[in-house]
Amino acid sequence: MAILRKIFVNIVLFLGVISFCNGQMLSKSETYIGATGGATISKVGFYQQVHQSFVVGINTGAAFRYISEKYFGIEIELNISQMGWKEDTTFFSKNLTYIEIPFLTHIYFGEKTRVFANLGPQIGFLLNERADSPVRDYFQQNTPLQRKFDYGFAFGLGVYVPVSRNVFQLEIRGYYGMNDIYRARKEDEFQRSNNMQAVLSLGWFFKIH
């Protein structure tokens, strides 16, 4: 995971440099507030391997978007999101509910209808975990999460359409966690246990100015 963390930091710095170098100031900045909601599918990247399939959840929250440069802006969100995993062999599943804060670079193309990409770091704090029966004698089934704080990288693609001062958008987003949810020392059960998630969401934004 140390190599992944270095890659993560380098990507964030690279995005910042690109935004600084290529930005062209708009004659009038754009500020939006909005709300999003959608469905999630999630797994955990266990190593040693745990045979699993996606667990389905929801994602909902509020967002602030500010665009002062042509093709570039920033977006900050506050979301409630469900992650977790479902095991194929034992039919066990664990549902994890996080409060998430993504800090995103917003890149767009187009004047009215816009195609966009959101990408950047994301942090999360575990609010609740729920294990669904049957629970058997496996470490990940009986042990609560040992690390409540999560961080990683989010990347999304989407399109939005303006209607007067309203904006309606569709986005698909992926998240790759850089932190393990269980300790990952040599003597521990897993050497890796990071969250992985995909989100399909609809959003509504209102243009303040």
Domain boundaries, the chain: 2-207
Structural contact between residues 94 and 109, judged by C-beta atoms closer than 8 angstroms: no
**The predicted structure's pLDDT at residue 11:** 56
β-pairing, 72-87 with 93-109?
Answer: antiparallel
Six-digit token pair at 171?
Answer: 């986005």
CB neighbour list of residue 43: distance below 8 Å, 6 or more residues apart:
52, 53, 54, 55, 85, 196, 197
This prediction has a pTM of: 0.85
Fold of 2-207: Porin (2.40.160)
Model confidence pLDDT, tens digit, residues 124-152: 999 999 988 767 778 888 888 999 999 99
Query: Is the predicted pLDDT of residue 25 greater than 70, yes or no?
Result: no
- The answer to whether the beta carbons of residues 84 and 177 sit under 8 Å apart is no
Q: What confidence score (pLDDT) does residue 88 get?
A: 85
pLDDT greater than 60 at residue 192: yes
pLDDT for residue 79 is more than 70: yes
Over residues 41-66, the mean pLDDT reads: 94
